[in-house]
A and B are shown apart, each in its own frame.
Chain A
């Protein structure tokens, strides 16, 4: 079951939530919509579910090639899990999950025994078999979210839409549920879109990640592609874990302090301000100056808790801070002292013109 949206534009008052967004999700794919708050990711999900409608006639929603743009939400069979679960408080867990089956028309409604069997199978899938008689108020946040997932799955949805499914949970439960969701998806293989603002979550769980910014898709690709080849400074910045060096670009190269790094994308002409992005693990630190392409820096702070060690340095020429990540082994050899002068070499530098 593939899902496609074409040229979706949606405004709330004067504020554009989505601007000409197109996206195709293949059958059985798990796609993350990643972006800061207000980037339109939830609106896109709601448009697919039929809870919002596109503003213009060009905006279309297709399920497996069939146009469902004008179909009301209750006919789309799009399972939706809400950030705050939206469980029915007056129904117990079993009846919450059975809801979607009980509201079917008399002709397609399963018999009571079939409903019971189906719901029990789903409760087992979400590991809540023993909670069938509990009410939502008697469950923890993680359990509630799993009930809401089981409830959405009960209708055998054409597509599963998860709106910040783990947003309201604490870090440990989040991490567990994340892995559980990945496993679940491998078991049932339903086409899934999920919204998140947590880049780690998106990169870990999804087959593909779409990064949204101010109502537009900034980049879409596999987690590897997105992480290794960010298309724009925004994506670089949003994925986090990156150092930004301000420099000047001229004739196919960028100058940062005393060093000059080739930047093929930058055309000749007058000198322009540019931003160079380097990941913390792509910075090599030495105590002595080796070669010419190094920057002088001072050690401001170091910490070695965890699998990797981190150094916080600041450039000697303009005081700009940046972070370096190194292995425990390298850290032991270097043994940096506070305030000490070191030299850094930048690798895999990605340059963008300023303001892009």
Chain B
């Protein structure tokens, strides 16, 4: 017999599970299901055709590629920022800590305009990059930069608490066993923060794939070149092609969901052994 729960001392299992399911259904599941229903208005052939137009393929490539690369970069720099915040005491640390949350708080539109201004040919940063032949605004690189900005807090905020909780004795034990700092980091610290890093990466990636506001201002939005998937959806909506828009949305959804699921599985595998102390 399938048992949904074990007898325990914590009360309210049915009630809380019921509320959680209802909430999730209303907010997440029903809207998503609606997307699937709408997309199913298309014939399979039509569905496939809509997805494999060169324009759609290019948009998919750019959205997923830029989001992946930006999340990857944030994996390293996010870890670095989290490390500095968790390990050292310095003047202005609180300000730095607050700055990390800024991409969360700022309307993405504002972020996009700001980034576009900064990286423009005559902008504060763009003017130094231009002589090097690096063009950011209105290019695919611009999309990457916007996603860097958007994704950073996800990695920092998932990794930082784990680093703060890390037992210093573990590092002392490693040192007393003959490990130098590099080995201690690679063999002791990194395995401990790996699950958090993965989560941060997944969140940053998922957010990057869906990001709209900040990207459309720094990108030229040229179909087949610098057009991202969310923009393609908006374009289709403006042309009253609702089914075509949802078809693309459904694919994005499935891809993101598959990725999150994969990372969760990975996490589950690597954390099977610890916890429970």
Contacts and interface: CB of A to CB of B under 8 A. Distances in A.
Interface in A87-104: 87-90, 92, 99-100, 102-104
B34 interface: no
Interface string A149-182: 0011011000000000000000000000000000
B176 A103 contact: no
Nearest to B270: A90
Q: Could you say which interface size class chain B belongs to? A: 20 to 34
B175 A90 contact: no
A82 interface: yes
B177 A100 contact: yes
B37 interface: no
Interface in A117-143: 135-138
B64 to A, nearest CB: 31
3 closest residue pairs by CB, A with B = A100-B177, A80-B176, A86-B169
A84 interface: yes
A89 B273 CA distance: 8
A151 B273 contact: no
B178 interface: yes
Interface residues of A, number: 34
Contact of A73 (B175, B183, B191): B175
Given A103-B183, A137-B274, A73 B176 contact: yes
Interface of B: 167, 169-170, 172-180, 183, 187-188, 191-192, 270, 273-277
B175 A74 contact: yes
6 contacts: A74-B174, A74-B175, A75-B178, A80-B172, A86-B170, A138-B273
A73 B277 CA distance: 28
Contacts of A88: 170, 173-174, 187-188, 191
Nearest to B275: A137
Given A51-B172, A86-B170, A86-B172, A104 B275 contact: no
Contact of A78 (B176, B188, B277): B176
A58 B210 CA distance: 63
Nearest to A89: B274
Given A84-B169, A89-B273, A99 B187 contact: yes
A88 B167 CA distance: 10
A191 to B, nearest CB: 15
Contacts, number: 84
Given A100-B177, A103-B178, A90 B167 contact: no
B273 A155 contact: no
Contacts of B172: 51, 73, 80, 82, 86
B173 A135 contact: no
Contacts of A51: 172, 175-176
Nearest to A163: B169
B192 A90 contact: yes
Interface of A: 49-51, 72-80, 82, 84, 86-90, 92, 99-100, 102-104, 135-138, 148, 151-152, 154-155
Given A82-B169, A84-B169, A99-B187, A90 B274 contact: yes
A205 to B, nearest CB: 22
Given A79-B176, A90-B191, 8 more contacts: A50-B175, A73-B175, A86-B173, A88-B170, A135-B273, A137-B274, A137-B277, A154-B177
A110 B179 CA distance: 15
A289 to B, nearest CB: 61
Nearest to A144: B277
A135 B170 CA distance: 16
A260 to B, nearest CB: 56
B192 to A, nearest CB: 7
Contacts of A102: 187
B179 A103 contact: yes
A89 B276 CA distance: 11
A206 to B, nearest CB: 22
B183 A82 contact: no
Greatest chain A CB density within 10 A among B176, B187, B270, B274 is at B176
A82 B168 CA distance: 12
Nearest to B277: A137
B3 to A, nearest CB: 24
A99 B274 contact: no
A134 to B, nearest CB: 9
Contacts of B180: 74, 103
A86 B179 contact: no
Nearest to B186: A103
A86 B275 CA distance: 14
A99 B176 contact: no
Contacts of A76: 176
A90 B195 CA distance: 11
A295 to B, nearest CB: 52
A92 to B, nearest CB: 8
A155 B170 contact: no
A75 B180 CA distance: 9
B169 A103 contact: no
A135 B274 CA distance: 8
Greatest chain B CB density within 10 A among A88, A104, A151 is at A88
A72 B174 contact: no
A76 B179 CA distance: 11
Contacts of A80: 172-173, 176
